[in-house]
Structure 1
């Protein structure tokens, strides 16, 4: 693993950074929609903020999608940066599996932005956008190399669950700094629903690891598997933080204990940073290595 990381060059690093930033924005935009629609007790003002946040993310994420398309063209041309504006090569990339993935992600972001309409139709379009983005992930990447359909389905469910989890960070962080019971109500409702989400994430991750690498012991023999295992290790730490939030910090919010809001905000910041690290690890092993190495 260390050899693979040490071998990352400037082009690889830029590709990893763009991919990780794109992943993060897709998760935040999708999660903002899911939490706005599914978490009870969120004040109307906060729901509207989440709606605007998801729409504001869309153009930035679209720019990163364009950057990924150009970077793939540069890679195919042997790190010739002139390929970034080569229409023929860009068309070639766009017609491939990665191009299909990016096209679906762009479509999903546009549909999410349509949620600003504010009516039931806007909500429906934004939810469809979230599903379209999740469905885009199995179309390219390492999961496409597996034989069964189960891995693709698990990845879609994984992305939806992870989006829901990531989507709570901003509203709960904001509400925890405000007076009133909204933060406690939101934290309690999310905590109840997150139990199933966490179970799905753990099961999906283990099944995918086994499918792509042949199991944990076999995975640890390859750089890809070691990075995947590192991702699972960080995720285990995130689960620990989430357990603290549910068992200690949420009851403190409910009881209006002093400093409860500040403690929740600190925990959410650390949890978000850990999720960010997971995203970077994912972007790294899907860029510089594969299940076989």
Structure 2
């Protein structure tokens, strides 16, 4: 893994950063919509700010998704000039990545409509969030065999991840007020997180088993080392989630002081960004389908 990172060229670095930014925009947009539906205790100002965040994230996801097309062409070409090469652009546009970005852009456009606060726009935005999750099943190792099972696992994984990352802002927002509504919001998120984290771990473990096979053999490969690093950060993230549920949420309910919980959410956000950067690096450089 160290050798792969040391040999990175500028076009590869740009491709990884743009892909990670696309992940952040898409997952945050979809997750914001999921939390708008689940966190019914959010007050009007919090809901308005979350709708705005979903719309901004959707725009960012579309922009970085569009940038990923010429950057992927440049990546394959071996230099930035490939991003302007008509043949390379056509290859990428009609590849799994191109189809995935197109479906994602359609879903994010639907998510953007949540900025107009009507029941029908919220419903369309929810369908858009599901479409964003589905777009991840159109690329990478999701199109390997058994395709139907891998696609279902990827969609489940992305929905769970989106829910988690999309909950950071509303929880941070509400925890700062220390009200009874804030406590109810955090507690509801915690109950939903038990299900979502369970799905996340189950889908992730199944994907790892299907794609990597023997984990000890995988550790000898750069992509296996990326996965190991990712799992270490995930373990830390799960530890923070446990701390939030078992200690910081009860403390918020007892004292009304949301400061410790807000600081924990900040660290969770940092961990999630690290996970997405690791994922973008792995899928761009050394994922199993790149072997050979």
Normalising by the smaller structure, the TM-score range is over 0.9
Partner residue of 1:273 out of 247, 270, 273: 270
Aligned to 2:75: 75
C-alpha contact 1:143 1:212 (8 A) present in aligned 2: no
Counterpart position of 2:259: 262
Residues 173-224 of structure 1 deviation map (CA, whole Å, 9 limit, x = unaligned)? 1112224222211110000111011111111111111111103222212111
Counterpart of 2:247? Answer: 248
Check the 8 A contact 1:146/1:212 in 2, yes or no.
no
The answer for the alignment partner of 2:64 in structure 1 is 64
Structure 1 unaligned segments of length 5 or more: list them: none
Q: Deviations over 1:97-142 (max 9, x none)?
A: 1110000111111000112232221011101110111101121112
What residue number does 1:283 align with? 280
Deviation string, structure 1 residues 144-167 (Cα, Å, up to 9, x no partner): 233342111101010001100111
Moved more, 159-168 or 176-185: 176-185
Q: Is the 8 A contact 1:8 1:288 kept in 2?
A: no
Equivalent runs, 1:44-193 vs 2, <5 Å: 44-79=44-79, 81-193=80-192
Q: SS of 1:40's equivalent?
A: coil
Q: In 2, Cα distance between the equivalents of 1:187 and 1:154?
A: 27
Whether the 8 Å contact between 2:29 and 2:58 is mirrored in structure 1 is yes
Which residue of 2 is the match for residue 8 of structure 1?
8
SS in 2 for 1:31: helix
Scaled by the length of structure 2, the TM-score of the pair is 0.95
User: SS of 1:118's equivalent?
Assistant: coil
Aligned to 1:215: 214
* 2-structure distance, mates of 1:53, 1:60: 10
Q: What SS does the aligned partner of 1:285 have?
A: helix
> 1:233 Cα shift?
1.5
Q: Note the aligned Cα RMSD (angstroms).
A: 1.5
**Contact 1:209/1:215 (CA < 8 Å) preserved in 2?**
no
Tell me how far 1:82 sits from its aligned partner: 3.0
Runs of at least 5 residues in structure 2 that lack an aligned partner in the other structure: none
Distance 1:212 1:187, change over 3 A: same
The DSSP-based 3-state class of the residue aligned with 1:57 is: helix
Aligned position for 2:17? 17
TM-score normalized with structure 1 length = 0.94
Matches of 2:184 and 2:129 in 1, distance apart? 25
CA contact (8 A) 2:226 2:282 kept: yes
Q: Residue 252 of structure 2 contacts residue 258 of structure 2 at CA under 8 Å; is this kept in 1?
A: yes
Whole-angstrom distance in 2 between the partners of 1:119 and 1:160: 23
Identify which range, 59-68 or 140-149, moves more after superposition.
140-149
The offset of 1:290, in angstroms, is 2.1
Q: Partner of 1:204: helix, strand, or coil?
A: helix
SS in 1 for 2:288: coil
